[in-house]
Amino acid sequence: MEHKPNLPTTERKSGLSNQPTLFITLVMGLCFVMVGRLFWLQVWQGSRYRELADENRIRLIARSPLRGRLLDRKGEVLATSRLTYNLYLQPRLVSVERWDALSESLSRLLNIPRDALNKRRKEGLEKQLYRITLATDLKINQVLRFEEQRSTFKGVQVDVDFLRYYPHATLASHVLGYTQLITKDEYKWLSKKGYLIRDRIGRRGIEAAFEDHLRGQWGGQMLEVDAMGMVQRNLGEKTAISGRDLTLTLDFELQLAAEKALSDKKAGAIVALDPRDGSILAMASRPTFNPNFFSRFVLNQKEYNNLFFSSKKPLLSRAINAYDPGSTFKLVTGMAGMETGKFPPEVLLTTKKCITYGSHCFPDHNGKGFGTIGYEDALRFSSNTFFYQVGVGVGSNALYEAAVKLGFDSPTGSELAYEENNGLVGHEKWAAQGRDWSAPGSTPWMLEDMASASIGQSVVQVTPLQLARAYAVFANGGYLVTPHLVNGNTDWLSPKKKKKVVIKHTTYETLRRGLLKVVQAGTGYAINVSTLPPVAGKSGTAEDSSGGLDHAWFVCFAPFQASEIVVVAFAQNTPGGGSVHALPMARSVLEVWNANRTN
């Protein structure tokens, strides 16, 4: 048998020989992913994660900024801040076991109920605060007692804070406003502007209007903590930035005189305005309130209710709220009559006991009329039937146009415009649209409306500030100024802020002579005193369209030839006449103004 040599045969591969290659590839892939991840974390996102790490490591104990002061035009302090001493706990430095003895010692030393301390601590722990307020507004003797034994109270400290303080209490409170703690809802968006949950914000008046100018920026103490939240060390202080002071146009002595003049009235307002540039020299309202109330840490509920829910409405500024102006509005009616040409400056009208319009006979206030008279005597006597004829004769559109030229039926442009009432000057279109309370077409304009509007009744309401602005036009040469409380960097004499009123020279001069006659020999005669320069003005008695007693008004400006001041005095629901009740208020303010002017 022939022997055949063994020939090579092809071996079957099981695939096991490729395992090392796959393993190496997998390991290299994982390494690549890890390296990429590390690069992304440490290089690409490194700064972000370092910031987050610092935030976890560092805690800030906030310190409130010093709010800017409010000053009068001569530097008198109207609002400032006072120091308050508060008791704080750093809970991470005080164990539960140690707290029992510590709270007992604090309660006994400072005469603070232990339950109150425990309650504050519990609330702070629930919020995970690093600094808990245990007590506020400590008396100086409490502070001294604590400082004497401070070394025995590790983890507890007395620190200084600031509270808004109004040294003259109720003076100019409606102008200044007040500050109040922000609400949780407000914090949601205010936090983006740097506010803290225990921050205070200007709530009304100048405090609110100039919040950004006054508030400043928070500072605080930076603490380093470990992963357990334990304080390791103090990293330093971030200084709080104080708010900026604000100088107002108010004159402290005039403001004081205005508030004194109002002191025997149940309600009312006084406005003193410089007609040359619109500076508000005084603006008082009664009843008033003490803004220091809102600076307290704990508010008395009864006092709170008296402020916010009293029928007397002490928080309402009567100076920028609207009321029936009565005869002080006859200036507008006279302007409308002359500007339309229907009742020129030389016109003479026969006044009567009463004139019938629609279903009502509208009377003159003396019950018999004043004979045949012109504009000057009509203002001097304050004849109703003269101005009924003029107002009804020109119609509502002409009356409204004259009123708008003098700034009525709109905000004055002051810093408190967000609180101002726009007032009302009724007219045909307004009535056709439903008078703001009814369906369109259901309340047409009637002759009775027109007669009432002619003498500032029923369908006309103005604010004392609006009235001061309107009369300033006849005191300054025919310019509608912008009332303001802060001069700042604004040019108040620019054409945008001091607008020339389109009015005939004859109209302007006729009305000025009429206002002078009111004081020389008319209803405003009692304003004359030997010490005052020549004064012009107008009295007014207005029925309250809301159903209350009559209002009393008096408006005046002085000196007549080169006026420096306009004063509006308003006594709400004070029957008896503007000459009786409002005129003496205006006179007392003028006397203080003149005494300071001549000194």
In this prediction, residue 407 carries a pLDDT of: 98
Alpha carbon distance 165, 265 (integer Å)? 27
- In this structure, are residues 391 and 527 in contact, taking their beta carbons and an 8 Å threshold? no
55 confidence band (pLDDT: 50, 70, 90): very low
The pLDDT of residue 313 is above 90:
yes
For 374-384, letters b (16+ CB in 10 Å) and e give: bbbbbbbbbbb
Q: What is the pLDDT of residues 251-290, one digit of tens each?
A: 999 999 999 999 999 999 999 999 999 999 999 999 999 9
Q: What is the pLDDT of residues 393-414, one digit of tens each?
A: 999 999 999 999 999 999 999 9
1 confidence band (pLDDT: 50, 70, 90): very low
Closest CA to 552 of 587, 581, 589: 581
User: Range with the lowest mean pLDDT among 41-55, 294-308, 469-483?
Assistant: 41-55
- The mean predicted confidence, pLDDT, of the chain is 89
Q: What is the pLDDT of residues 67-115, one digit of tens each?
A: 999 999 999 999 999 888 889 898 888 888 899 999 999 999 999 999 9
- In this structure, are residues 317 and 258 in contact, taking their beta carbons and an 8 Å threshold? no
Alpha carbon distance 365, 440 (integer Å)? 35
Closest CA to 150 of 96, 99, 97, 88: 88
> Angle at CA 474, nearest 5°, toward 471 and 478?
120
Average pLDDT over residues 213-222: 80
In this prediction, residue 38 carries a pLDDT of: 61
Instruction: Give 18: exposed, middle or buried? Use CB within 10 Å, 0-12, 13-18, 19+.
Output: exposed
In this prediction, residue 232 carries a pLDDT of: 58
Average pLDDT over residues 472-489: 97
The pLDDT of residue 564 is above 70:
yes
In this prediction, residue 203 carries a pLDDT of: 93
218 confidence band (pLDDT: 50, 70, 90): confident
The pLDDT of residue 43 is above 60:
no
The pLDDT of residue 452 is above 90:
yes
Q: What is the pLDDT of residues 228-249, one digit of tens each?
A: 445 556 566 777 788 999 999 9
**Selected residue with higher pLDDT from 52 and 581:** 581
For 365, what's the count of Cα atoms within 13 Å in the CB-facing half-sphere?
A: 20
9 confidence band (pLDDT: 50, 70, 90): very low
pTM (predicted TM-score): 0.84
User: Range with the lowest mean pLDDT among 145-149, 321-325, 536-540?
Assistant: 145-149
Closest CA to 412 of 593, 258, 566: 566
Alpha carbon distance 398, 429 (integer Å)? 12
Look-up of token digits 């048998």: 1
Average pLDDT over residues 575-598: 95
Average pLDDT over residues 513-526: 96
The pLDDT of residue 378 is above 90:
yes
11 confidence band (pLDDT: 50, 70, 90): very low
In this prediction, residue 54 carries a pLDDT of: 47
In this prediction, residue 421 carries a pLDDT of: 96
In this prediction, residue 23 carries a pLDDT of: 66
User: Range with the lowest mean pLDDT among 21-35, 416-430, 538-552, 563-577?
Assistant: 21-35
- pLDDT over 70 percentage in the chain: 86
Q: What is the DSSP letter of 458?
A: S
Ordered by where they begin, the domains of the chain are 60-247 (3.90.1310.10), 252-598 (3.40.710.10)
Note if the bond before 287 is cis, omega within 30 degrees. yes
Give Cβ neighbours of residue 523 (< 8 Å, ≥ 6 apart): 380, 381, 382, 538, 539, 578, 579
Average pLDDT over residues 448-461: 97
The pLDDT of residue 335 is above 90:
yes
> Angle at CA 442, nearest 5°, toward 439 and 444?
125
- pLDDT over 90 percentage in the chain: 67
